Each structure stands twice: as C-alpha cells, then as structure tokens.
Structure 1
Amino acid sequence: MKMAASSSEHATVIPGGFTVLSLKFNEEDSAVHQLCVKDHRVRSEKNINRPLDKTLFILNIPPYCSQGVVTDLFQQFGPIESVELCEKPGASEPSQSHLTQYFRQPQKQCFRVGYVVFKNASSVTAVKSHPASSALIVSTKERPVRTGIHKWIKQYSDSLVSSQTLQKAVDDFMSEFDRLKEEEAERLKTEAEQQQEDEEGWVKVTKGSRGVKARPHSEMANEKTLQKEKSKSKRKELLNFYSWQHRNTQREHIAELRKKFEEDKQKIALLRAQRKFKPY
C-alpha cells in the first residue's frame, strides 16, 4: 500500500479552508487535476452517516473516478467506512438500493462532490496535511481504470442483459410485491373482524393479548365514521352558505319587521279612533 507523503512538506491551503490535492490519471501523465478537500463540518447536518469529526468533504471529483476509485485513492490515509458521491453538496441523493441493477437509473457523467467517512478522525487530518506536490494516482498496474475504447466496450457489455436473467429479476420483484399485498390484505381483514360495528354504531372491542391494550379505533373504523358523517351532511340542506346570501336574508328580515311594526301602529291608531267611551 502506498503511504502518505511526509508531513515535512507543506500542504496548499486556499481560501475557504480547502486543501488542494494533486491528481494524476497515471504515473506517465503530465496533466495534473486538482481536488479541493476539507473536513465536513455543517451545523445543520441531518445525515447520521456523516459524522462531523471523521468525514472528509471533496470537491471537483472527475467523471472517471468512481466510488471504488475514490476509495482506493484515500485508503492510504486510513481505513474507510463509507464513500458517497453526489452531483452537488447537501442532502443525500435518493437511494436505489432496493432496485435491481437492471432497473437503476444510469449515473450522470459529470464532476461530483464526495463524502469520505474514515474510521479514525486522524485520517482526515492526514489528508489535509498531504502536500500538493505529491500527486494521487488514479490508474495503476494493481488497479487499472479503463479508458477510451476499452471503457466503451465494457459499458456496452454491461448494458446487455440476457432474457433469462431479466425474467428472474422481474419474477423476484413480483413475488415480493404479491407477498406484501397479501400481508396488507390479511392485516385489513384482521382489523375488520376486530372492529365490527352494529347497526347502532357500537364498536365491538375484542380482548387483546395479555399485557396489551386493545385498540377500539382503527383506520377502517375511522374511515367508516368519516363516511357516515359525510352522508349525514349531504342529507342536510345548507342554508345561507355564502356570505352574501346571509346578508340578504338579514336585510329581508329587518324589512319584514319594519313593515309589521308600521302595520301594528296603524291598527292601534284605528282602534283608538273607533273607541266609543270618551271620559273627557
């Protein structure tokens, strides 16, 4: 295993706290690519798989560096627990680990950012102390990286899948899907038996296992209750639903009261005029 360079040489640090690492594709290559690394310290980090004291943040990872290549490059600084490559910094990209390799989306060929989680925090310090004059080598005799026509041939060969292999992957997926559907149907059936409602709306509460409290309410019972409430509300006629209808009703009621008041006044005046007994 290639060891890290001596700490007597100084590392190149740029604004932002990043340390510059040199990267060569092979020993004979004269072109040098630069990586920017720093310790990953984000206060609002919610990913528990990125401990702040043991995670190295890497920028400008070239497209030819896969997850395995990045692992091989940084293993010289200490044992690695995990390597994660993303298109941009931030939250983890949605995982497709639950899908087979035949149904996963192909990775976009672009420069990436990486998160390398070491087993020891001292490994992060060792990477930051690595001098830029000592380049990291991507392709060696022990771990060659295919390029050009060889890379394209491998990608094309990997894209070809036999019908038997694909059929087996589909059958396994459908078997797992059917199993989950059967479990869900059995669960709903059990809840329906436990939560039987009579005509008056009472729920039959069955005795649960010892030490476990029976739950009289379930999703199915709640759905039935909501459906009953909706059916009741539909039977009722909604009066004065809109605000303008309510205002018009109030105006009509006030006008009706005034009209009745005037009619009562006229009746009282007429009765007074027709009164025959006049003591004065």
Structure 2
Amino acid sequence: MAPSRKKHAKAQSCVIPEGFTVLSLKFSSDSAAQHQLFVKEHRVRAERSSHRPLDRTLFVLNVPPYCSEAVVKEIFSKFGCVESVELREHPGSTQESGPKLSKFFQPLSKQCFKVGYIVFKNTSSLSAAKSHPLNEPLVVCTTQHTVKTGVEKWMQEYTKSFIEPYKLQEIVDSFIEDYDKRKEEDAERKKEQAEKQKEDEDGWVKVTRGPKGAKARPRSEAANHKTLQKEMRKKKRKELMNFYTWQHRNTQKEHIAELRKKFEEDKQRIALLRAQRKFKPY
C-alpha cells in the first residue's frame, strides 16, 4: 500500500495577494486562540534610508498591542540576528521633523494594532521569515521571556515612569542646549540667504550654485515681498496713463470733483473760525 501524501507533505508558507506571507502568532504555547501577522519584504523606491535597507527589512502588518518592540525583536530572532525594530501606527517614512524628545516627554502611544519594520543582519533571515509555514505558530510569552499583560503590565509601566530629579534635569538641559544650537543655525542660514539675495545698485541679484545634489531652498518671506514690489513697480511703469480720450475725461472729472470737495471743506472751516471769532485773514 502506497504511503499517504499528507503524512509526508512538507509544511509550506501561506502567501496571499499583494505578496504578503501569513504567520500565525500565539500568546502562549497552551493558548488556543491564534493571531495572524502579514509580512513581506520592504521595497519602497522613494525611500532611500540607511535605517531600512531594502534587502534586509521586513514589513509587518497587524502587530497586536501587547507586542512591544522588544517583544517583536525576540519573536523574530528565531529567523536570525535582528538589528532594529520600529513600530508605528501607520506606515510611512522615517524622516521626522523637529527635535527628538525623551521618552518622558513623548505623548503616550495608542493601544492599537500597528505596523512594524524589522531590520535583519543577514538577507537569509528575511527569506527564512517569509518562508515560515503557517501551521507553526510563533509564541510571544515563553518561560525564558515572559510578557506581562493587564494589571501586571500597568504596574510595571507605572514603576518605570519614575525618574530621579538629577536625570530629569540632565535631559532638560540637553534639550535646551540642542534648541539653542538649532536657533543659532537657523539665524545663520537666514542671514546667508539674505546676503545671497541682496541686490546691487543696478538691481541684479547674485545667484550662486550650491553643492552638487543639494535641493533648492525655498525663498524667504522678505525676498518674496521684495520681488512682488518690484513686479508692481514694473507693471505701473508699463501702464498707459491718459492714453485714450475717455481716460483723460475721467481724470479731469475726478480732479474737478476733488477740488470741489476741498473747497467745501475750506468753507466749513472758515465758517467755524468765524463763529468762534478767531478768523484773522490779515
């Protein structure tokens, strides 16, 4: 009798449309409920960041709230050495505007399902994670690495929220020094822009070529205002005043109306002075 094919069939990975591989996730080994993660290789042409190498970065969807960056790193260490893990509420670039705040001054993250970027040390680890079979779930909480939830997790986070006063003072001083440094750099950059955009006696602006590959900087508000004034003066010089007959007629009417108005104002002022007996024509 021929052996059954199901008995000797190898476990295969589950690939769904859009190139995602489905991975099963269990909170503990004795847990009956399973969670599903969707992973694929991170490939974004517009993003050329060294923090997310295109050949070693794994993009993960549907990361549960009880999985922190340390927990995700421990789970995927099964496939190889993990260099870094980044969890975000929405997929996006790593470029963030503004200074980097300390963990004590950052807003609390939302308790929601997140997306993750896992950077492996070797490319083979990425292939191993993508080819992991669906029927072999990954375990979050083990005897070697326990993950606390509920009240225990809240108590742990509350205990870690305390900080020594001198450490807090060091963080604040470091932030203030960084802020002052950035303000000085902004002032120097604005000063350089003003000098570059300064006009000479003939109205010419010296244009200098920046370093190769540098992006064009946006013009300052003062430079835009100066350019607008120049355009208005140029437009005013090109206007034809009293070129047509109707323009000359309208100009005369406006001039006569202005003279009449001024005459009436003078009459009222003289009448007022007479009433106050302060009129001295000579």
Alignment check: 8 A CA contact 1:47 1:91 kept: no
Match in the other structure for 2:23: 21
Which amino acid in structure 2 is aligned with residue 60 of structure 1? Answer: N
Number of equivalent positions: 224
Deviations 1:49-104 (A, max 9, x none): 4444433232221111111111111112122233222223x423664871111221
Going from structure 1 to structure 2, the CA distance change for 1:230 and 1:12 (only over 3 Å counts) comes to closer
CA–CA separation in structure 1 for the residues paired with 2:85 and 2:197: 49
1:81 lines up with 2:83 in the alignment: yes
CA–CA separation in structure 2 for the residues paired with 1:194 and 1:53: 43
Deviations 1:112-141 (A, max 9, x none): 222223233322222233223322221223
Match in the other structure for 1:143: 145
Match in the other structure for 2:93: 92
Match in the other structure for 2:262: none
CA–CA separation in structure 1 for the residues paired with 2:15 and 2:74: 25
Match in the other structure for 1:31: 32
Which amino acid in structure 2 is aligned with residue 39 of structure 1? Answer: K
- Per the TM alignment, residue 163 of structure 1 is displaced from its structure 2 partner at its CA by 4.7
Going from structure 1 to structure 2, the CA distance change for 1:34 and 1:166 (only over 3 Å counts) comes to same
Match in the other structure for 1:127: 129
Relative to the length of structure 2, the TM-score reads: 0.59
When structure 1 is superposed on structure 2, of 60-69 and 123-132 the one drifting more is 123-132
* SS of structure 1 residue aligned to 2:84: strand
Alignment check: 8 A CA contact 1:10 1:129 kept: no
Deviations 1:175-199 (A, max 9, x none): 222233344445666788899888x
Match in the other structure for 1:47: 47
1:116 lines up with 2:106 in the alignment: no
Going from structure 1 to structure 2, the CA distance change for 1:24 and 1:195 (only over 3 Å counts) comes to closer
Which amino acid in structure 2 is aligned with residue 48 of structure 1? Answer: R
Going from structure 1 to structure 2, the CA distance change for 1:225 and 1:154 (only over 3 Å counts) comes to same
Alignment check: 8 A CA contact 1:82 1:118 kept: yes
Going from structure 1 to structure 2, the CA distance change for 1:249 and 1:146 (only over 3 Å counts) comes to farther
Which amino acid in structure 2 is aligned with residue 36 of structure 1? Answer: L
Match in the other structure for 1:259: none
Going from structure 1 to structure 2, the CA distance change for 1:192 and 1:63 (only over 3 Å counts) comes to closer
CA–CA separation in structure 2 for the residues paired with 1:187 and 1:51: 32
- Per the TM alignment, residue 13 of structure 1 is displaced from its structure 2 partner at its CA by 1.4
Alignment check: 8 A CA contact 2:21 2:40 kept: no
Alignment check: 8 A CA contact 2:23 2:132 kept: yes
**Runs (5+) with no aligned partner, structure 1:** 1-7, 206-217, 241-245, 254-280
CA–CA separation in structure 2 for the residues paired with 1:30 and 1:221: 65
Match in the other structure for 2:213: none
* SS of structure 1 residue aligned to 2:129: helix
Which amino acid in structure 1 is aligned with residue 122 of structure 2? Answer: N
Alignment check: 8 A CA contact 1:57 1:113 kept: yes
* SS of structure 2 residue aligned to 1:69: helix
The percent identity for this pair of structures is 41
Relative to the length of structure 1, the TM-score reads: 0.60
CA–CA separation in structure 2 for the residues paired with 1:192 and 1:116: 44
* SS of structure 2 residue aligned to 1:63: coil
Which amino acid in structure 1 is aligned with residue 40 of structure 2? Answer: D
Which structure has the larger Rg over C-alpha atoms? 1
Alignment check: 8 A CA contact 1:195 1:221 kept: no
Going from structure 1 to structure 2, the CA distance change for 1:124 and 1:249 (only over 3 Å counts) comes to farther
Match in the other structure for 2:253: none
CA–CA separation in structure 2 for the residues paired with 1:175 and 1:112: 34
* SS of structure 2 residue aligned to 1:174: helix
